[in-house]
Amino acid sequence: MTSIENRVAVVTGAGRGIGRAIALELSRMGAKVALVARNVSELEETARLSGGAASVIPADVRKRDEVHKLLDQASSTLGPVDILVNAAGVGLFGRVVEFSDADYETVLDTNLRSIFMSCRYVLPSMIARNRGDIINIASIAGKVGSATRAVYCASKFGVVGFTQSLAEEVRQHGIRVAVICPGSTDTHFSSDPNREGKARAKMLAPADVAHAVRMLVTQEPNSFISEIILRPTQKP
C-alpha cells in the first residue's frame, strides 16, 4: 500500500460519527490531520482519542470565509493539503409540503455547498503539485430516493454528481476524487424516520467507512477507485 506518512489531511465533520472515525484512521496511518467542525469540545475529544496528534480547527463549513480561513490555517501550520475528506453532514427529514426554507438551506449548504467551496479552494495547490485525494461522503440516499427524505436525497444525489464531474475535470492532474455512499450507519442521525425499528447492531459502524477511506488513500498511483457503495452485511 502507498504510505500517507506525514501527508496533510483535512477532515470536516470530525467531531463525531463518520468524520471522527475517518480522522482517527488517517491519524493512525501517520497523516497530519486537521479536525474541522463547529463543536470545539467534540473536536478536542477527537484530538484526545488521536493521542494528541491531530490539530483542532473549529469552523462552520457552510460559510465561505470560514472554509477559506480553515484551509489557510491547515496549510500554514501543517503544510499543503494532500487529502481532503468532506464528511460534514446534516440530516433533516420530513414531507416536502411541511419542509421549511430554513431547513432546506441548512441541508443543502451543509451537505453540498460546503463540498463545492472546500474543493474549489484546495484544488489550485493540488493541481500545481500534480497530486491529491479528495473524498466526499455521500450516502445510499444519493442513489435511491425515499419518502420524507426528498431534500436530504437531493443533497446527496448532488454530492454524487458533483464528485463524478469533478473527478473527470482533474484526473489528468494526478488528483483522485471519489465518493463513498454508506448505507445505514450507526451515527447520530436518530431523527431519520426511515431508521425507526432498525437494529443498530446490524448497521455499519463509522469505522467501516473509515476503512473504505483507508483503501482509497493507499491506492497505487495509477489506480483510481471513483465510487464506493458500502452496505451492511445484513439489512438492519
The catalytic residue positions are 152
Dihedral angle of Cα 130, 13, 106, 212, to the nearest 10 degrees: 70
Contact 133, 217 (CB under 8 A): yes
Residue type, 5: E
d(CA 30, CA 123): 23
d(CA 32, CA 54): 6
Match 483510481 to its residue by C-alpha cell. Answer: 224
